[in-house]
Structures are given as structure tokens and as C-alpha cells.
């Protein structure tokens, strides 16, 4: 995955904003848990993503959910050179 814009650094995310990411739905059959994690990964910095993963886990959501190709977010992150901190957050979650 190639990012087409830079993240806004230093932006503080409230717990309410993080919780909103749990509400995302899909319309193509993708597992909603995968979709929520993927969207969080593409929009949050590493620290915020780690907070989101903890909230996600506390809500009983599936950290190992897969996309329509059978890949989990961890599988995808292992292919990215600069995703180590995100992968660590998932694995510790």
C-alpha cells in the first residue's frame, strides 16, 4: 500500500474519535473488523493506532480478521518496510 498523503502529526485523538472507528461498515463483504483496523492503520500515527488496538481488543473485536483475499492486517504489514510499530501494536494487542 502506498500512502498518497502524509499524516497530520501531533493531532490528539479523543477516546470518542477512536470509538468512531469501531463503527465503520463495509458493503463488499469485507470483514468489518478488518475494515476498521485497516482504516485506522491508514489514518492514524503509530501511537494513536496502538491506543486504538487496545480499545478494539477491549470491545472483543477480532485482531486477526481477514480481507476478502484471506489476509489479516498483520499479513499486510509484514510486507511494508515502515510498519514495524504498527505490527508490534497488533501483536501486543
According to the model, what pLDDT value does residue 81 have? 87
pLDDT surpasses 70 at 10: no
Report which DSSP code applies to 29: S
According to the model, what pLDDT value does residue 1 have? 44
CB of 76 closer than 8 Å to CB of 37: no
pTM for this structure? 0.84
The winner for highest mean pLDDT among 1-5, 8-12, 44-48 is 44-48
Neighbour tally for 53: CB within 10 Å: 25
Q: Which tens digits make up the pLDDT trace of 15-66?
A: 899 999 899 888 899 999 999 999 999 999 999 999 999 999 999 999 999 9
CB of 35 closer than 8 Å to CB of 28: no
Amino acid at each position: 500500500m502506498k500512502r498518497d498523503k502524509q499524516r497530520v502529526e501531533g493531532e490528539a485523538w479523543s477516546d470518542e474519535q477512536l470509538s468512531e472507528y469501531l463503527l465503520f461498515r463495509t458493503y463488499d463483504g469485507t470483514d468489518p473488523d478488518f475494515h476498521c483496523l485497516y482504516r485506522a492503520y491508514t489514518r492514524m500515527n503509530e501511537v494513536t493506532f496502538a491506543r486504538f488496538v487496545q480499545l478494539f481488543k477491549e470491545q472483543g473485536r477480532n485482531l486477526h480478521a481477514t480481507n476478502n483475499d484471506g489476509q489479516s492486517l498483520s499479513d499486510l504489514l509484514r510486507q511494508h518496510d515502515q510498519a514495524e510499530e504498527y505490527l508490534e501494536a497488533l501483536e501486543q494487542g
